[in-house]
Amino acid sequence: MPVTQAREITPAARLENVRYAIRDLACVADEVTRQGHKVLPLNIGDPLTFDFHTPAHMIEAVHKAMRDGKNGYSPSSGVKEALDAIRGEAARKGITSIQDVFVTTGVSETVDLCLTALLNPGDNLLTPCPDYPLYSAVLAKLDIGLNAYYLHEENGWQPDLDDIRKKITPRTRGIVLINPNNPTGSVCTRPMLEQIADLARRHNLVIFADEIYDKLIMDDDPHVAMAKVAPDVPVITFGGLSKNYLAPGWRIGWGIASGEASVMKPYLEGINKLLRSRLCANHPEQYAIKPALEGPQDHLLEVKGKLRSRRDLTMKWCTETPRVSCVAPRGAFYAYPSLDIPEDDEIFVRELIRQKHVMVVHGSGFGQRPGTKHFRIVFLPDEKTLATAYSAIGDFLRARYS
């Protein structure tokens, strides 16, 4: 008689610490959709869900690559013309001490590869709080505990340097800096970058500079690359096509490794070992990198104009709405308002979906200082859609908390 397997197959215990609040709310939205309602998604930063379009010359480049037979495996680090274009972009950003460049399946894979190649059991990595939940998810997968440093809301969401200093331990290997920041929309000042670089020098840390939104600064101040400020410090700069170039579904990201060659060499050998083990990133889509970085940039003027208008509408609503306040975002397309309510922000978000069919993300899903409550807005929709959403959120606040 065949033996029947009776025991459950349980997942690894470390997955208990994996959370991805941005998409975990989908089950609540599905419940509302099954009831016949349309949910307005202000939770996911995908510009193509709204009135933004991938530049035509990039689409044509990928189409041509496919027609030309670029459909097999590529070199593990990426195709030469893409790597050369990324090096050129790095030079324009002022990054001088480049040691390596590699193309990945979105910045998500860049993060995964770079953290996996660095961290041993018992090590820790400084990550911002609030942060983009990918980092905590990767760390949980590696069985590495969180070592989160606070962003200072009263100081425009700049990193809290005193908190960073307190949290550096002998097992701290690196620090993550998301700039422009997701979820707050803040942009680091150059003096702040210089102080973080000095801490990295003193404590032999790798800086992971997530600069995926570096061309989406809504005001006139230019973006300053961390690796430009600290050419001697080990820095991995993350970039990609998803946000600046409106192609999130292509899953094309990259890493730019800079710093002293002798210091970086063994770590980069580890990264390249992992790059080879996963074969390659999407091949034909890599041929959009050169035309994206070196071709027309007209779309950025249109995108930033729309974002500026929608940011201003968002800030006007935050200013006028009781129980809501917000530090004005300067980059990316997120706002992170503070809530003055008597219940958890996750309850607020879930009930907002159920009652008003508007989906935002609770601040606790990104991490926040104890005693504070927030929610993240993606202000990508057109002004009319945003106005409708904000009216619904305002009605919900008045009815629930008056």
**How confident is the prediction for the chain on average, in pLDDT?**
94
User: Residue 6: pLDDT above 90?
Assistant: no
Helices (H), 258-374: 261-277, 289-294, 298-320, 345-356
pLDDT at residue 203, rounded to an integer:
96
Q: 3-state class of 304 per DSSP?
A: helix
300: confidence class by pLDDT, cuts 50, 70, 90: very high
Q: pLDDT tens, 96-109? A: 999 999 999 999 99
Q: Which of these three, 294, 320, 354, is where a domain ends? A: 294
Do residues 257 and 86 make contact, with C-beta atoms less than 8 angstroms apart? no
Q: Are residues 146 and 261 in the same domain?
A: yes
Q: pLDDT tens, 17-38? A: 666 666 667 777 888 888 888 8
Q: Are residues 70 and 184 in the same domain?
A: yes
pLDDT at residue 56, rounded to an integer:
97
1 domain residue, yes or no:
no
pLDDT at residue 1, rounded to an integer:
60
3 domain residue, yes or no:
no
Q: How far is CA 27 from CA 45, 97, 183, 358, in A?
A: 18, 46, 21, 14
Q: Are residues 63 and 208 in the same domain?
A: yes
pLDDT at residue 113, rounded to an integer:
97
Q: Are residues 249 and 283 in the same domain?
A: yes
Q: Are residues 283 and 306 in the same domain?
A: no
Q: pLDDT tens, 129-167? A: 999 989 999 999 999 988 999 999 999 999 999 999 999
Q: Are residues 157 and 264 in the same domain?
A: yes
Cα 85–90–93 angle (5° rounding)? 130
CA 350 to chain centroid, in Å, comes to 23
Assigned token pair, 336? 């992170």
2 domain residue, yes or no:
no
Domain count, the chain: 2
392 domain residue, yes or no:
yes
pLDDT at residue 15, rounded to an integer:
72
Q: Are residues 75 and 187 in the same domain?
A: yes
289 domain residue, yes or no:
yes
6 domain residue, yes or no:
no
Q: Which of these three, 248, 277, 294, is where a domain ends? A: 294
Q: Which of these three, 294, 310, 336, is where a domain ends? A: 294
Q: For residue 303, what is the domain's CATH number?
A: 3.90.1150.10
298-320 vs 383-401: helix axis angle to the nearest 10?
20
User: Residue 39: pLDDT above 90?
Assistant: no
Q: Are residues 324 and 389 in the same domain?
A: yes
Q: What is the residue range of 187's domain?
A: 56-294
Q: Are residues 114 and 241 in the same domain?
A: yes
Q: For residue 147, what is the domain's CATH number?
A: 3.40.640.10
Q: Are residues 283 and 384 in the same domain?
A: no
Q: Are residues 276 and 382 in the same domain?
A: no
314 domain residue, yes or no:
yes
In order, the DSSP letters of 11-59 are: PPGGGGG---HHHHTHHHHHHHHHTTPPPEE-SS--GGGTT----HHHH
8 domain residue, yes or no:
no
Q: Are residues 124 and 268 in the same domain?
A: yes
